[in-house]
């Protein structure tokens, strides 16, 4: 299969457009969303919806495979691992495109049997690409990376569809752990495409831009 290698900017724009088209993007400044951290914000992204849209998911997985090969190399990996649970279907699709074995990483040991965190076959010395749907501040990726490394395999790259790109120190946190981040688009790309499409009213988009520019200040003002 021949994979397309469009410019990064076009990948970002088209990814944002697809996320908007399937209504995976939610903006609501009047009734902010509560995140897992307990903090609030006017944005929410649901990348899991992508698995129900075959044409879009196929295109995005082509984009991810192309991005990883362009950034890391064509023979850079021996195994593709998905993070439980959202990363599993995307890892399977990327592994298919790269013609590589696929595994997945549990968030915690399953508590019985082998008590394993890695499902599938991963061996010492393998170069593993960790695939997830998105990353916020990179924290959850480090746990998955550590589980992979505990097998004796190497993991220095993670690929996601969506990267928040609004919390300071994310790239440095990953870099300090020896992990390079590959992604298709960010909140800034989605905001630009939402404006281009007039997908939301300008007041909402202005509030979202305020949040993206300084999330902590916005959250402090919206306890």
Residue 127 included in any domain: yes
CATH number at residue 126: 3.40.50.2020
Domain count, the chain: 1
Residue 2 included in any domain: no
Residue 123 included in any domain: yes
Residue 1 included in any domain: no
Residue 87 included in any domain: yes
Residue 166 included in any domain: yes
pTM, entire model? 0.92
User: At a CB cut-off of 8 Å and minimum separation 6, what does 37 contact?
Assistant: none
What DSSP letter does each residue of the chain carry, written as one string?
Answer: -PPP---HHHHHHHHHHHHHHTT-EEE-SSSPEEPTTS-EESEEE-GGGGGG-HHHHHHHHHHHHHHHHHHH-TT--SEEEEETTTHHHHHHHHHHHHT--EEEE-SS--SSTT--SEES---TT-EEEEEEEEESSSHHHHHHHHHHHTTT-EEEEEEEEEE---STTHHHHHHHTT-EEEEEEEHHHHHHHHHHHT-S-HHHHHHHHHHHH-HHHHHHH--
Strands 154-163 and 102-105: unpaired
**Is the bond preceding 24 in cis, omega lying within 30 degrees of 0?**
no
Structural domain including 184 reads 8-221
**pLDDT of the chain along its 223 residues, tens only?**
455 588 999 999 999 999 999 999 999 988 999 877 677 899 999 999 999 999 999 999 999 999 999 999 999 999 999 999 999 999 999 999 999 999 999 998 876 656 689 999 999 999 999 999 999 888 888 999 999 999 999 999 999 999 999 988 888 899 999 999 999 999 999 999 999 999 999 999 999 999 999 999 998 888 7
């Amino acid at each position: 299969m021949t994979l397309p290698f469009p410019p990064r900017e076009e990948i970002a724009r088209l990814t944002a457009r697809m996320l908007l088209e399937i209504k995976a993007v939610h903006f609501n400044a009047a009734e902010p969303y509560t995140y897992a951290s307990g903090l609030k914000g006017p944005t929410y992204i649901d990348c899991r919806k992508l698995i129900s849209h075959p044409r879009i998911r196929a295109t995005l997985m082509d984009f991810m495979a192309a991005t990883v090969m362009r950034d890391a190399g064509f023979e850079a990996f021996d195994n593709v691992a998905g993070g439980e649970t959202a990363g599993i279907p995307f890892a399977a699709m990327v592994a298919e495109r790269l013609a590589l074995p696929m595994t997945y990483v549990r968030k915690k040991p399953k508590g019985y049997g082998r008590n394993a965190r890695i499902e599938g076959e991963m061996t010492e010395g393998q170069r593993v690409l960790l695939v997830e749907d998105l990353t916020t501040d990179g924290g959850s990726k480090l746990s998955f990376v550590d589980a992979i490394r505990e097998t004796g395999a190497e993991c220095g790259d993670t690929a996601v569809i969506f990267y928040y790109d609004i919390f300071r120190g994310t790239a440095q946190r990953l870099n300090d752990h020896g992990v390079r981040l590959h992604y298709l688009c960010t909140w800034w790309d989605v905001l630009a495409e939402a404006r281009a499409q007039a997908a939301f009213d300008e007041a909402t988009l202005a509030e979202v831009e305020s949040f993206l520019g300084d999330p902590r200040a916005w959250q402090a003002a919206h306890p």
